[in-house]
Amino acid sequence: MDKPDFDPKVINNLKLLAEKYAADGQDLNVHLEGLLHTSYTKYWDYIHLDTLLSLQKPKTEHADEMIFIVYHQITELYFKMVLHELKQLKESEKVDADFFIKKVNRVNWYFGQLIESFDIISVGLEQDQFLKFRSALHPASGFQSVQYRLVEIASTDFINLVSPASKDKFEDEYATIEEMYEEIYWKKGAIDTHTGKKTLTLRLFEEKYTNLLIRMANEYKFKNLYSVYKRLPSDVQKDAQLIASMKKFDTLVNINWPLAHYKYAVRYLHKGPQDVASTGGTNWQKYLPPRFQKQIFFPSLYALEEIENWGKSWVETEVLNKRPAMS
């Protein structure tokens, strides 16, 4: 009988596989036989393309609503990638400078892409159509994006998400997440200006996500990006490149993305002397701009003056069209 002419690499792989399966009490032969019946992986199955493309369901006949839905979904997928990186920092037993900086640079890249791509809204969405189909979406709002809230929770100590007016209440370091959660900044934004009560958008969001948000906030309490940074060796904490990457993350998430978004809220909801009410019912002109929110993830990295001027240069160049003075 002819000897089968196997490449030594094949023999070696078979040996390795036999070891792998034996370690789990499995029979290599059974698994090899299984391979005979397995079909090839196909692109469309692997990425679940049919399911993915079945998830865009406009509520109206206006063609541009499709673009509105798809771009929200794209953003949510990017948020998912950001959370995936931050979760790895949370779960790593030991984080060194290299791993830390790689993760921060990745999330910076993802947020950078989101900011760059926000202009898709102006290319793909006629204001006329938006103002019509949006009435079919009440009271849904991007305000209800739970992943956006989770990115915040995974990035900083919870106290930094508390509304500035309430922070003093929690000076004592034993304040619980549950106590602070009541005073989180975005709850303050979603109060009906006429009645002083929580908007329906907020109430529905709380009903669905309060438990999850509190659980995640407890999980990230000592494992969020900021606290992982504060546990790095002190010489690493002072590394200029690392600090620059963290400040970039803070700026991208807390100034540049919110302002790219705000620019379109203004453009699409500003109509004549009176602005159009948002679907989420916030006092959005006051609530959205970061100059008012002053959300800062890593406060210890800034001089007082930088905090005072948070978001100012972007507003001057992008909104008011003032170029910075040449030195």
Q: Which residues bind ligand HEM (CB under 6 A)?
A: 71-72, 75, 121, 130, 141-143, 145, 148, 186, 258, 261, 264-265, 268-269, 278-282, 284, 288
Whole-number minimum distance, CB 318 to ligand HEM, in Å?
16
CB of 321 to ligand HEM, least distance (A): 21
d(CA 57, CA 174): 46
Is 21:28 a contact under the CB 8 Å cutoff?
Answer: yes
Nearer to ligand HEM by Cβ, of 66 and 97: the residue is 66
**Complex with ligand HEM: residue 221 or 267, whichever CB lies closer:** 267
- Which is nearer to ligand HEM, 3 or 194 (by Cβ)? 194
The residue length of the chain stands at 327
Smallest distance from the beta carbon of 264 to ligand HEM, in angstroms?
4
Taking the least distance from each CB to ligand HEM, the nearer of 189 and 229 is: 189
Cβ 114 to ligand HEM shortest distance, Å: 8
192 or 316: CB nearest ligand HEM = 192
Residue type, 264: Y
Q: What is the DSSP string of 66-123?
A: HHHHHHHHHHHHHHHHHHHHHHHHHH-SS--HHHHHHHHHHHHHHHHHHHHHTTHHHH
Q: Is residue 147 a contact partner of residue 84, using CB atoms and an 8 Å limit? A: no
CB of 12 to ligand HEM, least distance (A): 49
Burial 161-170 (b: 16+ CB within 10 A, else e): bbbeeeeeeb
Contact predicate 183/163, CB 8 Å:
yes
- As a whole number of Å, the CA-based R_g of the chain is 25
Nearest approach, Cβ of 70 to ligand HEM (angstroms)?
10
| Residues facing residue 297 across a β-bridge | none
Q: Which DSSP letter does residue 119 get?
A: T
Question: What is the rounded CA–CA span in Å between residue 165 and residue 58?
Answer: 40
Which CB sits closer to ligand HEM, 121 or 242? 121
